[in-house]
Amino acid sequence: MERDQQRIERARAVWEEHVRACRPCAGGGGRCQSAILLRRTYNSLVRAARSDDPPLRDSI
């Protein structure tokens, strides 16, 4: 369970860093496709941790 929490924290940190560093995202005009994909990854990890779904791959 702790490993899942570390994945979630890392995914969120990666997403937040991207949003700060990416010119289109930081410009306030919306999120780029990379930011959308990173957020979906974070959301998937959170959902998997809350349910009995099998663990996700070690991609993050």
Residue by residue, pLDDT tens for the chain (60 residues) are: 678 899 999 999 999 999 999 999 988 778 999 999 999 999 999 998 888 555 556 555
pTM (2 d.p.): 0.76
pLDDT at position 17 is: 96
pLDDT value for 16: 94
Residue 31: how many CB atoms within 10 A of its CB?
16
